[in-house]
Amino acid sequence: MKKLNEIFTEKKNLLSIFFTAGFPKLDDTAKIVSELSESGVDFIEVGLPYSDPLADGPTIQDSSQIALQNGMNLDIVFEQLKTIKKTNTTPLVLMGYLNQVLKYGEDKFCQACVACGIETVILPDLPMIEYENHYKLLFEKYGLTNVFLITPHTSEERIRKIDAYTDAFIYVVASASITGAKGEISQEQINYFERIKAMDLKSKLIVGFGISDNNTFTTACNYADGAIIGSAFIKELAINGVKGINDFIKSIR
Amino acid sequence: MKFQPTKEGYYGQFGGAFIPELLYPNVKELEDNYIKILESEAFQNEYKNLLQHYVGRPSPLYLAKRLSEKYGATIYLKREDLNHTGAHKVNNTIGQILVAKHLGKTKIIAETGAGQHGVATATVCALMDLECVVFMGETDIKRQAPNVARMKMLGAKVVPATSGSKTLKDATNEAIRYWIQNPETYYLIGSVVGPHPYPDMVARLQAVISEEMKAQLKEQTGKENPDTIIACVGGGSNAAGAFYHYLEDSAVELIAVEAAGLGVNSGESAATSQLGDVGVIHGSKTILMQDEYGQIVEPYSISAGLDYPGVGPLHAFLHESKRAVFMNATDKEALDAAYELTKIEGIIPALESAHALAVLPKMNMKKNQVVVINLSGRGDKDLETYIKHLEA
């Protein structure tokens, strides 16, 4: 598996795809990762399905519920990711909720990430103060890095702090929103992207939430280093399954 | 002051503010201002005035003679059921609506289980002429129809939560999602749950219950302390209010009663302290019901107000530190207690409050033991359930 920072130095306009592990079928993880890699996706976010995903809209909620009904759990995800570790070269990022980490055991969770070659995690409900007080040290111990989210309402002072804590990238939430495709990017959002860009941060910026097609992806890339597509991809998977992945990615860029 | 939260909102290991970055500015604004507002003279005047003239406080402390005889103790009922809108919930909504106004908010959202908090929120929004959206689980909408009708009549929009078990947990998820998408709104949380500062703010606003209890007990018994206080706990706001001014005085026994549903180990229960362990739910680190992978387990109780998989962080700490005794009552025990109180005292309690009454037969009491039961709400909203089970 390549490192995220290698990809960041090699390429521009990065395309990342989020999918929920265990959706549409329990054993689709390996197939989805390899299809995405072959289609030229630059890095992949693997979502750990959660019963109460507060930051997610209806599409990802539904996919999480189906994945859980399919019997997906953290042991199975880690087992699946370990299996593909040798063949997969595209960097993987793990996205889940803090309670999953707490219950699994913080150290055990980190060890499992390392065993799968994962170096980056996104926990949208991990607040910065908890990171500073506890998780920073824990993650450092295992060589893991955490991705912080920023929104149009995040203050400049806080963004500067997040920039200093960031090793991988900053997740730029496109609007005050939960996940879910909106179809277009407004002038207000563009103003926000420009404001962030003008701050001249050291970290790479990846835009997410509301990126769904070629148009929104291209617009986001004008202001950031790349973008993440989640809900729109889940919708595509729900309709056409794994076989539709290549066409979907080609339609984005 | 062992039972006051730290600056970051921690009671021991419980509490904090585990919120997505998207909510940070809202929660921070509240955190920076709530104590200043609550302690200001303007707020205190308005809050006290409304509690007295609009809510009808102080609520009576009633010596339930026949109940006392039956259980061989001196049992008082703190009559929160007599408040305007029928429960203790309004103490909090009056306070928070004033906080929202001080912060310049014009749109209010809330979650509700039994509908009592939804009604109390819709009521204060009507009073203050503010827009109101209430999230309520689809299952609860069906079992608490009168409260849904009241909210609509009060001008609130009731949005059904259709995910998960379609109850209080899911209504709270939907309210938080809406809040993320509409950060200009004020989220008026109904219990001592959620991210800091909500648990502390709601506890302070419900503390009027124990503040009055002290004065009323002094007047009626000559002592401001009872021996025992009993309150039901879902999220835990009425218990927090009834315990508040006695928390630091370990001579007063505090009993929190959870809903056991069909039985603690039946798989259909909401007895969080017995079935849960440490985790994060709705922005707070607390005790919650979850499986081995941290997926939140759907709770069950006949009472929509106690049907919650977590518990406020203060209560998690009271449980862990053993400051409070945690008991529980099944659906059947609660129904029996409700029928009993109705027959011998002429008071129809809410199903939630009936859980607090339901532990009386399990207690070993002394004749002169002074017990206060917080009768958190009235049973009008539960008549359909009561009638159904009476016939059965």
Is residue A181 over pLDDT 60? no
Region label for B312, one of left (φ > 0), alpha (ψ between -120 and 50) or beta (otherwise):
beta
Q: Which of B7, B47, B1, B21 is nearest to B197 (CA)?
A: B7
Chain A residues closer than 8 Å to B177 by CB? 54, 57, 178
B289 vs chain A: nearest CA distance in angstroms? Answer: 11
- Whether A108 is covered by a domain: the verdict is yes
Pairing of strands A14-20, B284-288: unpaired
Query: What chain B residue is nearest to A133 in terms of C-alpha separation?
Result: B8
Residue B336 forms beta bridges with which residues?
A: none
Task: Please give the DSSP secondary-structure letter assigned to residue A124.
Answer: T
- CA–CA distance, A225 with A237 (Å, rounded to integer): 25
- Whether A124 is covered by a domain: the verdict is yes
- Interchain pair A126, B18: CB under 8 A: yes
Secondary structure class of B265 (helix, strand, coil): coil
Chain B residues closer than 8 Å to A98 by CB? 18, 280
Q: How many helices (H) and strands (E) does chain A have?
A: 13, 9
- Whether A155 is covered by a domain: the verdict is no
* Residue B268 vs residues B289, B309, B350: alpha-carbon distances, Å: 12, 11, 21
Residues in chain B whose beta carbon is closer than 8 A to a beta carbon of chain A?
8, 16-22, 24-25, 163-164, 169, 173, 176-177, 180-183, 277-283, 288, 290, 292-296
- Whether A98 is covered by a domain: the verdict is yes
Say what the pLDDT of residue B392 is: 64
pLDDT digits (tens, 9 = 90+) for A98-135: 999 999 999 999 999 999 999 999 999 999 999 999 99
Q: Does A124 contact chain B (CB < 8 Å)?
A: yes
Q: Which of A28, A35, A42, A45 is catalytic?
A: A45
- Whether A178 is covered by a domain: the verdict is no
Say what the pLDDT of residue A187 is: 87
Q: Taking a contact as any Cβ pair under 8 Å apart, which residues of chain A between 76 and 115 contact chain B? A: 97-104
Backbone φ and ψ for B34, nearest 5 degrees, come out as -65, -40
ipTM above 0.85, yes or no: yes
Query: What chain B residue is nearest to A122 in terms of C-alpha separation?
Result: B20
Region label for A143, one of left (φ > 0), alpha (ψ between -120 and 50) or beta (otherwise):
left
Residues 6 or more apart whose CB falls under 8 angstroms from that of B6 comprise B15
- CA–CA distance, A14 with A16 (Å, rounded to integer): 6
pLDDT digits (tens, 9 = 90+) for A38-94: 999 999 999 999 999 998 989 999 999 999 999 999 999 999 999 999 999 999 999
Mutate which: B8, B13, B18, vs A, most A CBs within 10 A: B18
Q: Count CB neighbours of B228 within 10 A.
A: 18
Radius of gyration over every alpha carbon of chain A, rounded to an integer in angstroms? 17
Range of the domain at A60: 2-147+218-246
pTM, full prediction = 0.96
CATH number reported for the structural domain that contains residue A224 in this entry: 3.20.20.70
CB B14 within 8 A of CB B284: yes
Average pLDDT, chain A: 94
- Whether A168 is covered by a domain: the verdict is no
- Whether A181 is covered by a domain: the verdict is no
Say what the pLDDT of residue A41 is: 98
Tens of pLDDT along chain B (392 residues)?
799 999 999 999 999 999 998 899 999 999 999 999 999 999 999 999 999 999 999 999 999 999 999 999 999 999 999 999 999 999 999 999 999 999 999 999 999 988 999 999 999 999 999 999 999 999 999 888 889 999 999 999 999 999 878 889 999 999 999 998 898 999 999 999 999 999 999 999 999 999 999 999 999 999 999 999 999 999 999 999 999 999 999 999 999 999 999 999 999 999 999 999 999 999 999 999 999 999 999 999 999 899 999 999 999 999 999 999 999 999 999 999 999 999 999 999 999 999 999 999 999 999 899 999 999 999 999 999 999 998 76
* Residue B263 vs residues B274, B302, B305, B332: alpha-carbon distances, Å: 11, 12, 17, 9
Residues 6 or more apart whose CB falls under 8 angstroms from that of A226 comprise A12, A13, A14, A15, A16, A42, A204, A206, A207, A220
Domain count, chain A: 1
- Interchain pair A52, B16: CB under 8 A: no
- Whether A99 is covered by a domain: the verdict is yes
